[in-house]
C-alpha cells in the first residue's frame, strides 16, 4: 500500500489534522494560563515548531534513514498545520548556511513585510466588503 498514489496525500492530511488540533489546544492553554493580552500561544508555537522542525529534518536528512512518508506526515503535515513559521525559519537558515546571503535576506525581510502587508490588505478588504 506504501506505493499507492494517494498515500502521500493521506499521510499529509492525517499529520495536518493532528497538527492543527495541537495548535488549537496550545493556543487555548496559553490563553488560560497567560492571558490574552499578548499572543503567547502563537509565539510559543512558532518557536517550538521551528525547534522541532530543525531537529526532525536534521535527523531525517543527516542522521537516520527515515521513510519519506514520515517526513511528509511530520514536517509537511503536522508541523505545516502547527506552524508555517517553522518552515520559514528552517529555509532561511539553509540559505544562510549555503552562503546565499542576499536571497536569505530577501526571504526573511520579504516574508515579514509581505506578511504584514498581506494581512493589512486582507483586513482592509474584509472591512470594505
Give the Cα separation of 110 and 22 in Å (integer).
28
- CA torsion sign for 115, 117, 122, 127 is positive
- Write down the pTM of the prediction: 0.77
- Specify the DSSP class assigned to residue 98: T
pLDDT tens, residue order, the chain (129 aa):
556 899 999 999 999 999 999 999 999 999 999 998 888 898 889 889 888 998 999 888 888 889 999 999 999 999 999 987 878 888 899 999 999 999 999 999 998 998 888 888 988 888 888
Give the Cα separation of 4 and 88 in Å (integer).
30
Give the Cα separation of 91 and 15 in Å (integer).
20
Amino acid at each position: 500500500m506504501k506505493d499507492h498514489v494517494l498515500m502521500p496525500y493521506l499521510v499529509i492530511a492525517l499529520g495536518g489534522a493532528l497538527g492543527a488540533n495541537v495548535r488549537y489546544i496550545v493556543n487555548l492553554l496559553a490563553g488560560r494560563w497567560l492571558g490574552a493580552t499578548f499572543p503567547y500561544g502563537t509565539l510559543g508555537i512558532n518557536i517550538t515548531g521551528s525547534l522541532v522542525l530543525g531537529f526532525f529534518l536534521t535527523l531525517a536528512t543527516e542522521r537516520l534513514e527515515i521513510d519519506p512518508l514520515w517526513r511528509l506526515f511530520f514536517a509537511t503535515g503536522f508541523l505545516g498545520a502547527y506552524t508555517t513559521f517553522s518552515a520559514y525559519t528552517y529555509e532561511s537558515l539553509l540559505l544562510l548556511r549555503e552562503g546565499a546571503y542576499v536571497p536569505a535576506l530577501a526571504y526573511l525581510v520579504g516574508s515579514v513585510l509581505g506578511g504584514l502587508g498581506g494581512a493589512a490588505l486582507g483586513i482592509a478588504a474584509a472591512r470594505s466588503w
